[in-house]
Amino acid sequence: MAVDEDTVRRFTWAIAPISVHLEELNGFWGRALNISGPQWMILIALAELDQDKGVPVNAVAKKLQVDSSFVTTQSKILEKKGFLRRRTSEQDARVVQMSLTDKTYKQMAQLASKQQSLNEFVFAELGGNVFRDITQKLAELSERLEKACLKATAGL
């Protein structure tokens, strides 16, 4: 299927501001805890990924599409502020496992109703199935864009 360049351009211009607004909202939630937006995203990633064993730095970095050194630096700051714990893995001393503190879970729970209210405002027009379908299509598109970046880097 041939894709019209004008359609791709319009899509790009439609979706780019979504990323900007999501980052702005992450900054808002971060400021509510006196941390930055990227630090907030680290906490969110940990909350989602942790299965009571901690989460390796590289898993959080992969989830956030950032370098592991960024997560390491920011997690040390978050640890000093009491938001997370960092400990060396028992299986591999090179791996640092991170987990949220009880204080962090409580603070995030206090924000939950405000987040729910905002999510309802943003996504009210999208029924459950439509929202699920859009999410799936965007995930697929993200995978294809990641592969396209690899192809572009390799010189097509």
**Structural domain includes residue 82:** yes
**Structural domain includes residue 10:** yes
Q: How confident is the model at residue 144, as a pLDDT?
A: 92
Q: How confident is the model at residue 152, as a pLDDT?
A: 92
Q: How many structural domains is the chain composed of?
A: 1
**Structural domain includes residue 136:** no
**Structural domain includes residue 152:** no
**Structural domain includes residue 20:** yes
Q: How confident is the model at residue 156, as a pLDDT?
A: 66
Q: How confident is the model at residue 16, as a pLDDT?
A: 92
The CATH number of the domain holding residue 50 is 1.10.10.10
CA–CA distance from 107 to each of 30, 48, 70, 152 (Å)? 11, 16, 24, 43
> Tokens 């439609």 identify what position?
14
**Structural domain includes residue 13:** yes
**Structural domain includes residue 81:** yes
Q: Mean pLDDT in runs of 10 for the chain (156 residues)?
A: 86 92 94 96 96 91 95 97 92 90 95 92 84 90 91 84
Strand boundaries in 1-156, DSSP class E: 55-56, 84-88, 96-100
pTM across the whole model: 0.87
**Structural domain includes residue 141:** no
Domain assignment of residue 23, given as a range? 5-100
